[in-house]
Amino acid sequence: MAEKNVLIIGGGIAGVRAALAQADAGNKVFMVEDFPSIGGERISQDRIINDGDFFTAPDLAAVKENKAIQVIDSAELRSLVGENGKYKVKIHRRTPRVDREKCDDCGECIKVCPIHMYDDYNEALEWRTAVDFFNKGSGNYNVFKEDMPVCQRTCPINLDIRTYVGYIADGKYAESLAAIRKKLPFPLSIGRVCPHPCEFECNRGYKDEPISICFLKRFVADHEVYNDIEPTITVSDETYPEKIAIIGGGPSGLTCAYHLALLGYQNNITVFEALPKPGGMFLVGIPEYRLPKAILAKDVEFVEKHGVEIKCGVRIGKDISFDDIRKDYDAVLVAIGAHMGMSMRVKNEDAEGVFEGVKFLRDAGLGNEVPNKGIAIVVGGGNVAMDVARTGLRVGFDEVNLLYRRTRKEMPASPWEVDAAEHEGIKFHFLVAPQEVVVKDGKAVGMQCLKMELGEPDASGRRRPVPIEGSEFVMDADTVFAAIGQVTDTSVVEEKHGFKIGRKFNFEVNPKTFETNVEGVFASGDAATGANIAVRACAGGKTAAESIHKYLRGKK
Amino acid sequence: MYIYEKKGRYIIDFQDIPAERAEMPEIEVEERQGNFKEVETGFPEEVAVAEAKRCFSCRRCLGCALCWAECKPEAINFEMQDEDLDLEVDEVILSSGMQRKIRPIAGSYGNRHMNVVTDLQVERMLADTGASNGFILRPQDGEIPKKIGFVQTFGSVDDKVRDAALILGINEAVIAQKRIDGVEISFVSPNMDAFKTSAGSDLDKVSGITFINGTVVDAAEVGENKDIELKYEADGSEKTETFDLLVLLTQPQLPPIIEGAAKRLGVEVDYASFLGKPGEIVETDKPGVVLAQNV
């Protein structure tokens, strides 16, 4: 048989065995693995072993000696096309920074390397240095360098966390804040409300507990406010003439405005905000006790000082038509958030005394009159439900009951929010599903509920709630709040404008550029992604600013 | 005491750097009633600076070139660039790779409790080339655990994949029994009954392990030794049991490089496709693309 070229993907034991077998058969073997080294010994997972060799080890020495096998580690598969016996493969290999022909496996480099990182080969049980060989016998030395630390990579807006935390350790607070504001104009607000996905990835978590990244950001931003330090305003060297309209003065819209100003569009950016004050969900979604309005105002003021005009109380489609905006501006960003509550889909939902949780938070945030007497029921298990419940207690309800159809463990809310709500006296009722609003004289007086139990886990790993037959009961209430999700109110545009609207009632965009299908119109934040965390909305705003810049400059 | 101290690689616990993460100060619950005062009051300066010092400043290689200076054969070369390779091949063999998904208990930070480890960590502990020369040690104090719990925290997956995960755990338990005199071992899995049926007489090979059909609810650290108190539901009631060491069984899954390759080739595979005929090569419906089964 003629010699074949064989590509093996995956350098575990099975891959190594296949490689040796193929080489024995006279074939040329390319073995591709994304890890910097090929596999070590493993315990069997296909049969129970009670004696003899528990570990099966791949014969790495044989692989190394076999000239017919080329190991391509640290690899990414860029393309793989072809048919039946003819495949074209493109592989990108990250450099090991070690010439393995020259390396004599003396290990001196490891002794002197000052970096300690957790050892991914040994499942973080040990520490290794930035130069390592992973498993004995592979001899695959490499110097491990990353473009971003894991926290920065996890952050939606890629904040340079290592730098700003490092500056705090050195007491250089102004430098720290400047490092944050290179990307994010809302350190006071995000430093208070972010659910900080970065902290879940923090490498310190492998040793004891993750760094309190989010609150450090808050600290350094607070330091400026509490010490009456005037924030530094960066002025762009460029000035471009194009005018840009931003619809929505929330996290995403204002971050976009800020970055456009930094890019050179200062004094040509107008933000149209429907509410009487700017801030979007920061203002009317996050309650005062988590983010004081006066603090938010400082962040907003910082954006305004960069040459951003914010017109409040202007609703597009009502006070100004979308067509007029298109006519008067060279580019438009739609960043109107997701302010419409989703329906519970239960009977009598339209009765008096039943409210959308988001509307209640909005009214409370704006200082409008809100229901506040007697007993409230909040339906939902996310962070908005926690905000509604905790706000409910504060505006004067005697009792707030929260219903959730699974258990505490499955709640999507951040665990610390759930703890705080419980601490403050919210009564949690788990494994309870609302069935029907009980109405008397057209007014809600309670909720008929059904008890649930957890069945088999579903695809998400969460156990599915199953109703217990005959377990109906009524819970009294004067007010019912539905807090089970929010969607975008797309009525700001009309059908004739031809926008593609997605399944989540969001504006469909190119995920890389945030362009909509309508030329010159971009969308970001919750309006593009569906309800999501604030820092992701900010990240979208920043990307949209870069895209708008590219679009406007490309036109010339 | 930490097993990190083995093999001459040290992580020093500096006196001025706290191990615990700083806690955010809050106003009392009574003070929050009927008003919207900010609940969290922010770190005082000295707390913030101490907390910031805890940061490892992860950057991996700094480019300090100490290794470069030390390397006699001059093998280290910072100028080396990434490479792009173009290959033409006649056959593609996919294997299952080495990636697994950890599902933590009750949403806590990964393995935040010191004495909760994964089956992969236990595998590395048991391996001769691993972190602790073949001993299972508690990460918290380096002691040998006398009571070990293995728990399945992931939800329903393909039966074959679930069996693979449980069998890996059971094999680790069997080795532990041989290496630790009188060790007590329990397994908790929501699919234990189904597993027992599918494992059949193979399970007769093991003895002295308690198999529980139950669902994990929570795990907490208790006492000075930070033992792990496991809460689980079984037979319709919640039970509590304390272990010296708790092992999370991880969920086998295909790494992105293999999933990506399969997708590009138009071959439908999942982890289960690599289980069933140990060590063999299995054809797919696409000519020239085969699967190397797990060993």
- Domain end residue (candidates: A226, A259, A284): A226
Local confidence band at A423 (pLDDT 50, 70, 90 cut-offs): very high
Which residue, among B1, B23, B57, B58, would best test binding to A if mutated, counting the most A CBs under 10 Å from its CB?
Answer: B58
Q: With contact defined as beta carbons under 8 Å apart, do A285 and A387 qualify?
A: yes
Q: Are residues A68 and A126 in the same domain?
A: no
Please name the residues between 196 and 255 in chain B that touch chain A, using a CB distance below 8 Å: 199, 202-203, 205-206, 215, 217-218, 252, 255
Last residue of one domain, picked from the residues A143, A170, A202? A143
Q: CA of B290: how far to CAs of A31, A39, B86, B264, in Å?
A: 14, 20, 21, 14
pLDDT classification of A350: cutoffs 50, 70, 90? very high
How far apart are the C-alpha atoms of B199 and A42, rounded to whole Å? 20
Statement: residue B107 has pLDDT above 50 = no
Shared domain for A357 and A460, answered yes or no, is yes
A103 has a pLDDT exceeding 60: yes
Q: Are residues A465 and A368 in the same domain?
A: yes
A123 and A158 in a single domain? The answer is: no
Residues of B in contact with A457 (CB under 8 A): 154-156, 190
B54-91: pLDDT as tens digits: 988 876 787 788 899 999 999 999 889 999 999 999 99
pLDDT given for residue B213 in this prediction = 95
Structural domains of chain B sorted by starting position, each given as residue range(s) with its CATH number in brackets: 1-86 (no CATH), 92-96+254-292 (no CATH), 103-249 (3.50.50.60)
Q: What confidence score (pLDDT) does residue A22 get?
A: 94
Which of A4, A35, A42, A48 to probe the B interface (max B CBs under 10 A)? A48
The mean of the pLDDT values for chain A is 92
A367 and A333 share one domain: no
pLDDT of A155 reads 96
Asked if residue A103 belongs to a domain, the reply is no
In a domain, residue A100? The reply is no
A357-363 average pLDDT score: 97
Q: Phi first, then psi: give them for residue B168, nearest 5 degrees.
A: -55, -45
* Residue numbers of B between 17 and 56 with CB closer than 8 Å to A: 19-22, 24, 29, 32-40, 42-43, 45, 48-49, 51-56
Looking at CA atoms only, how far is residue A426 from chain B in angstroms?
Answer: 12
Question: What is the per-residue pLDDT for B15?
Answer: 66
What is the pLDDT, as a whole number, of residue A235?
87
At A487 the pLDDT is 94
* Residue A194 pLDDT greater than 50, yes or no: yes
> Do residues A398 and A433 both lie within one domain?
yes
Q: pLDDT band for A120, please (50, 70, 90 cuts).
A: confident
Share of chain B above pLDDT 70, in %: 91
Given a cut of 90, whether residue A331 has pLDDT beyond it is yes
- For residue A320, what is the enclosing H or E element? none
Is A520's pLDDT higher than 90? yes
Predicted confidence (pLDDT) at residue A470 exceeds the cutoff of 50: yes
**Does residue B93 carry a pLDDT above 60?**
yes
Chain A within 8 Å of B16 (Cβ-Cβ)? no
pLDDT at B242 over 60: yes
User: Is A99 among the domain residues?
Assistant: no
Confidence of residue B6 (pLDDT cuts 50, 70, 90): very low
Q: Which whole number is the average pLDDT over A145-152? A: 84
Bridge partners (DSSP) listed for residue A32: A9, A72
**Mean residue pLDDT across chain B:** 86
A358, A330: one domain: no
Domain membership of residue A120 (yes or no) is: yes
Q: Is residue A233 part of a domain?
A: no
Nearest to A378 by CA among A396, A352, A356: A356
- Residue in this structure with the two tokens 């309190």, named with its chain if needed: A212
Q: Which comes out higher in pLDDT, residue A16 or B100?
A: A16
Is some CB atom of chain A closer than 8 A to the CB atom of B134? no
Q: Min CA distance, A533 vs chain B (Å)?
A: 18
Residue B247 has pLDDT above 70, yes or no: yes
> Which B residues, 164 through 193, put their C-beta within 8 Å of a C-beta on chain A?
164-165, 167-168, 170-172, 174-175, 190
Q: Which residues contact residue A388 at a Cβ distance below 8 angstroms, ignoring those fewer than 6 apart? A: A357, A360, A361, A378, A380, A481, A483
User: How many structural domains does chain A have?
Assistant: 5
Percent of chain A with pLDDT over 90: 72
Q: Do A526 and A446 fall within a single domain?
A: no
Indicate whether A238 belongs to any domain.
no
- Report pLDDT for A467: 92
Q: Are A471 and A522 members of one domain?
A: no
* Tens-digit pLDDT profile for residues A227-270: 999 999 988 999 999 999 999 999 999 999 999 999 999 999 99
Residues of chain A in contact with residue B151, where contact means CB-CB under 8 angstroms, are: none
Please check the confidence at residue B5 and state whether its pLDDT lies above 50: no
- pLDDT tens digits along A281-326: 999 999 999 999 999 999 999 999 999 999 999 999 899 999 999 9
- A103 has a chain B CB within 8 A of its CB: yes
In a domain, A231, yes or no: no
| C-alpha–C-alpha distance, residues B178 and A469, integer Å | 49
d(CA B186, nearest CA chain A) in Å: 16
- Whether A351 and A481 map to the same domain: the answer is yes
Residue A248 maps to which CATH number? 3.50.50.60
Co-location of A482 and A492 in the same domain: no
B254 by Cβ neighbours in 10 Å (0-12 / 13-18 / 19+) ranks as: buried
pLDDT at B9: 39
pLDDT of A58 higher than 80: yes
Predicted pLDDT at B102: 73
- Residue A475 pLDDT grade (very low, low, confident, very high; cuts 50, 70, 90): very high
One domain, residues A377 and A404: yes
pLDDT of residue A556: 53
pLDDT at position B106 is 58
Name chain B contacts of A7, Cβ cutoff 8 Å.
87, 89, 91-93
Domain housing A315:
244-339+488-555
Which pairs from A230-233 meet CB under 8 Å and 24+ separation?
A: A231/A177, A231/A302, A231/A305, A232/A174, A232/A178, A233/A302, A233/A305, A233/A306
What region does A183 belong to: left with phi over 0, alpha with psi -120 to 50, or beta?
A: alpha
Model pTM greater than 0.90?
Answer: no
Q: pLDDT digits over B116-172, tens only? A: 888 988 998 998 877 788 899 998 888 999 999 999 988 778 889 999 999 999 999
User: Within a domain: residue A283?
Assistant: yes
Average pLDDT, stretch A469-488?
A: 95
Q: What confidence category does residue B4 fall into, taking pLDDT thresholds of 50, 70 and 90?
A: very low
Residues of B in contact with A101 (CB under 8 A): 75
